[in-house]
């Protein structure tokens, strides 16, 4: 039997969850790293029977057993002998208290940590440390908390990895899209979702990011190439239209009506084939091109009108209507009403044709305005 100042310790001294550790006197404290306190080998005897909620038992050989459970295998954590049994038990209880204090610090540290991999490593190290500790206490409860936290973080990382895999799949499907504006908007949404997806875990996070980045870069690189091509085409189109405007301005004072009319029509056909310079620039250039052509067609219109007036005056002076043949006359010597109507209609048609032609040249009906990409 073991004895101490607090009373007798029998061969099956029991410590429960409510038992408070006794602080041993300094002169009675034993070094728990000494060989007599190391866990014995398995062949030193079977584990004791457990009943109730006791956390430890001391068998007839003085071995101190701690109770196991779902997270912890019961085992020997030390051995008592002589008159120092209470001191040994108190020391082992204090050691367990140190483990619980360490857990509280770990919980506080990891609550605001962003490196989940470091968090997992800390938890695994702590669990390994607890499982091999020579101490007396509720190992099952402590390991349940630590294992639960480890499982929670591992689940969180697995969820983050799955979310990022989904985002990578979506980004890869968009990599070859030519819908530049809408796809760019979708890519921005994917990036925001990536930021909210959470960590995937250390090196795995970096691998996932590189895959996501590669898929996005393919689309944005292609968009940049397309943009450079569009800008070059617009620059070429603007320069070509500037040249056509210059040519039209050089011709707009010409009185060589036939040749200049043909030249103006050719400039219009070239304008239609010229690449777009962009919506706003195209509108500005078109207004300048139309203004450059207008003086010629206005002058041509006035000249044709003057020619018609002179022709009409000459016809009246000669005492006959316009036309190649003499109009039929009635019995009184004047042109018959039918002949006069026919002659007047012919003159009207000729006048309309001369008016419509220049107007058609000035405002071509088939002008096509290029749209932006």
Digit-coded pLDDT (tens) for 190-217: 999 999 988 887 788 899 999 999 999 9
- Cβ neighbours of residue 233 under 8 Å, at least 6 residues apart? 275, 276
The sheet carrying 14-16 orders its strands as: 14-16, 54-58, 63-66, 75-79
> Do residues 13 and 97 share a domain?
yes
Please state, for a pLDDT cut of 90, what percent of the chain lies above it: 39
For residues 140 and 261, membership in a common domain is answered with no
Per-residue pLDDT tens over the stretch 149-169? 899 888 888 999 999 999 999
Q: What is the pLDDT of residue 47?
A: 61
Report which of residues 248 and 351 the model is more confident about.
248
Asked if residue 312 belongs to a domain, the reply is yes
* More confident site: 63 or 303: 303
Which of 122, 156, 190 is at the close of a domain? 156
Q: Flag whether 181 is in a domain.
A: no
φ and ψ of 48, to 5 deg:
-75, 165
Residue 124 lies in a domain: yes
Q: Is residue 236 part of a domain?
A: yes
Write down the residue that tokens 């085992």 correspond to. Answer: 75
- 3-class DSSP state of 77: strand
Name the domain boundary from 140, 156, 172: 156
Span 71-98, average pLDDT:
81
The pTM of the whole model exceeds 0.85: no
Residues 256 and 356 grouped into a single domain: yes
Q: Is 244 among the domain residues? A: yes
Residue 257 lies in a domain: yes
Our count of domains for the chain comes to: 2
8 A C-beta contact, residue 136 and residue 74 = no
Whole domain around residue 269: which residue ranges?
232-321+341-362
- Which residues have a Cβ under 8 Å from the Cβ of 178 and sit 6 or more positions away? 226
Question: Are 333 and 237 in contact, with CB atoms under 8 Å apart?
Answer: no
């Amino acid at each position: 039997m073991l004895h101490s100042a607090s009373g007798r310790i029998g061969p099956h001294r029991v410590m429960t969850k409510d038992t408070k550790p006794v602080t041993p006197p300094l002169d009675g404290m034993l070094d728990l790293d000494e060989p007599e306190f190391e866990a014995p080998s398995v062949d030193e005897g079977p584990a004791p029977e457990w009943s109730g909620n006791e956390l430890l038992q001391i068998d007839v050989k003085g071995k101190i057993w701690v109770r196991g459970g779902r997270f912890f295998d019961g085992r020997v954590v030390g051995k008592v002998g002589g008159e120092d049994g209470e001191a040994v038990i108190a020391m082992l209880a204090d050691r367990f208290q140190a483990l619980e204090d360490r857990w509280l610090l770990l919980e506080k540290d990891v609550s605001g940590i962003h490196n989940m991999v470091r968090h997992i490593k800390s938890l695994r190290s702590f669990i390994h440390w607890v499982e091999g500790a020579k101490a007396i206490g509720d190992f099952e409860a402590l390991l349940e908390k630590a294992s639960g936290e480890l499982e929670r973080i591992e689940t969180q990382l697995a969820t983050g990895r799955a979310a990022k895999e989904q985002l990578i799949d979506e980004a890869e499907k968009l990599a070859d899209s030519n819908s530049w504006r809408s796809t760019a908007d979708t890519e921005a949404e994917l990036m925001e979702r990536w930021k909210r997806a959470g960590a995937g875990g250390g090196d795995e996070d970096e691998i996932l990011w590189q895959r996501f980045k590669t898929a996005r870069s393919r689309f944005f690189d292609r968009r940049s190439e397309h943009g450079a091509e569009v800008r070059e085409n617009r620059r070429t189109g603007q320069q070509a239209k500037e040249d056509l405007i210059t040519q039209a301005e050089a011709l707009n004072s010409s009185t060589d009506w036939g040749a200049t009319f043909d030249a103006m029509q050719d400039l219009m056909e070239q304008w239609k084939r010229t690449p777009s310079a962009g919506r706003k620039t195209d509108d500005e250039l078109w207004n300048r091109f139309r203004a450059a052509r207008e003086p010629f067609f206005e002058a041509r219109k006035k000249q044709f009108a003057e020619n018609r007036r002179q022709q009409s005056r000459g016809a009246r002076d000669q005492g006959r209507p316009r036309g190649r043949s003499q109009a039929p006359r009635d019995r009184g010597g004047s042109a018959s009403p039918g002949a006069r109507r026919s002659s007047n209609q012919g003159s009207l048609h000729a006048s309309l044709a001369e008016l419509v032609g220049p107007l058609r040249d000035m405002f071509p009906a088939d002008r096509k305005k290029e749209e932006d990409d």
